[in-house]
Amino acid sequence: MKRINSKATDNEKLRQLSAEYVNHSGGAMTTDQGIGIANTDDSLKAGERGPTLLQDFIFREKIMHFDHERIPERIVHARGFGAHGHFQVYESQSAITRAHFLSDPDLVTPVFVRFSTVAGFRGSPDTVRDVRGFAVKFYTQEGNYDLVGNNMPVFFIQDAMKFPDLVHALKPEPHNEIPQAASAHDTFWDFIANNPETAHNMMWLMSDRAIPKSYRMMEGFGIHTYRLINAKGQSKFVKFHWKPLLGVHSLLWDETQKIAGVDPDFNRRDLWENIFCGNFPEWELGVQILDPKDEFNFDFDILDPTKLWPEELVPVKKIGKMTLDHNVTNYFAETEQVAFCPANIVPGIDFSNDPLLQGRLFSYPDTQLSRLGGPNFHEIPINRPIVKVNNNQRDGIHRMSIDQGTVSYFPNALNKGEPHPASLGEPAYAHFIEKLGGETVRKRADSFKDFYSQPIMFWHSLAPYEQKHVINAFRFELGKVKNTDIRQAVVNMLNNIDGDLATQVATCIGATPPAMPFKAKNVKISPALSQAGTVSSAKTRKVGILLECGFDKREVDAIANAAITAGATVEIISGAQAPVTAKDNRTVNASQTYATTSPVIYDAIYIPSGSRHVETLMLNPHTLDYINNTFKHCKPLAASGDAVELLRSAPALKNASLCGNKSGMVNDKGVITSKGRNEFSAFTNEFIAALNKGRFFEREDC
């Protein structure tokens, strides 16, 4: 506690005290200079749908302070992992953009991609429920282009002015810095309940999209509306998509919690190992193109970042492919020091008046000043463009270049006018010429005020098992909220999306179900929003085989060879990392033990026959753990010969009488059994088919 000067005036005493303790419980909001603020939700724009104005000192102060709150870790997206690769367009897109890297199908453009979680610190686990960052830096021949997005196509808020509020609410609560990397706490849900614009992204966050199985199986979205401009100066609106060739797949909530304990680096390890092994992740770049004449032809505003363009209305055209083919050499030098910014664009790509995007254009480079120590972060190797940098900017902390000559200004005569502004025929950036008009206002456009139509569409587009996961996610999250008024407010908010959803959540968290449950009529469905129909393949999936001495090696070889042929990897799990002897005295090396791995790491488990081998597994408590977790998480579970008895005797994880199953789990979907070698070929084929499918959510129905 500071000592107060007894001779100071009352005002001076108050000033000295306030320098240490500030009570924010009452009074009007002000800037850091004490100037009153009437609106802290909307940035100053040229017209309701116009661009944000640089003169908005309130926004600049708010976002500047937010950008510099953490040193040196990123405030958001701190937990990340990256890799190098390349991008190649399928055919020239010169009809819609003059961007060179999108116009030459023979050109291979280097890229660096950083995946991340949003909320947690650098030491938090990979598998938390969160939005995932998906940022791509293209090193093009016209300069660096950064496509900075997420794995969800919409964002929580509509205007960048509210971004500090969102993150302050989401981060650990300031009095105890709990919880880490989690949204299940009072301040976050208080913010949600008081900001209905968050409803759409909140539904995505409670869905399986928030717990991706792998970065390699995760969609990416540019979120914002951008412009593409061709050589004639003609413009189209565009939204960018990344579509993974392996399909879009997620973990189950119970898995994520267990994986966070046994391998907090699960997603980054998966990316590193697959690139190292040559299983190069691939995504197709898709674009949704909209003619400006159709800008107002929808029941949503195309500039609203809390809205998506349904793919059924505006199809996604796949125009190229990105492949990640080599890992970083040094995590800090590359992944930690990479600096992305939506303002890094190349000729042929331009911005829209999306008010969230407008704020990000300022915020990102401002943040890098704190993180990377000054204005020269572009000279760090991972951030350098592949083209020559030629301008009059000099000096500053951490300057790497040794600039020659005496001239650092323009116009000049001493250096014969060099470097000169680009002239006709030389590559130069030119913004799209757009007529702007409207009063200078701090106001939200009326077209941004529909908060529930798209959350309704999202909810009704999900498969029944996906809806069940959303309900359970709300129950978990709100069950952690201590304030009952906040719980009730969120339930009331959910009733604007679906009354049954609100009721099922309310009954589990001690809230009052809606008296008049809402049910939307004439609901529009978008199948693209569900993961149920995604591509599914055994490629890069991981099979665990439980072995003890006395197993049947011919069965193991058959299953292992079939799995590897299908593109999967196989690991042998035993009591020790040592050779395991089969009943014909041949051996197989165990690469994992029960202490070094866990059933949640694998996509399928197989147990071969062999009486001695099965007897040993019967006495091993880990066997039951592998069987039950694999079954509970709806993954393929296979046993042959006398090993089938292990499945038959394992406690069923469901009500057998309700499901008509009185023989444990052996007759369930995705549980494959074989009694003898005569049927082993069919058994192997059935196992590979199950591995291709991946999950059997029918098990959750009981």
- The residues assigned a catalytic role are 77, 150
- Say how far apart CA 367 and CA 18 lie, in whole Å: 28
Work out the angle at residue 326's Cα, subtended by the Cα atoms of residues 322 and 329, and round it to the nearest 5 degrees: 135
Three-state secondary-structure class, residue 96? coil
Q: Which residue in this structure is represented by tokens 């296979």?
A: 638
Which backbone phi and psi does 284 adopt, to 5 degrees? -95, 135
Query: Which are the contacts of 238, defined by CB distance < 8 A and separation ≥ 6?
Result: 96, 225, 226, 227, 228, 287, 288, 289, 290
Which backbone phi and psi does 568 adopt, to 5 degrees? -85, 170
| DSSP, res 551 | B
Give strand ranges (E) for 567-702: 569-574, 579-581, 587-589, 592-593, 604-607, 637-640, 671-674
Structural element, H or E, at residue 518 = none
- CA-based nearest residue to 149, from 287, 329, 251: 287
* DSSP-derived pairing of the beta strands 282-290 and 317-327: antiparallel
Query: Which are the contacts of 670, defined by CB distance < 8 A and separation ≥ 6?
Result: 634, 635, 636, 637, 690, 693, 695, 696, 699
User: Would you say 568 and 559 are in contact if contact means Cβ atoms under 8 Å apart?
Assistant: no
Type of residue at 208? D
Measured in residues, the chain has a length of 702
- CA-based nearest residue to 239, from 162, 305, 298: 305
- Say how far apart CA 244 and CA 364 lie, in whole Å: 27
Which backbone phi and psi does 172 adopt, to 5 degrees? -50, 145
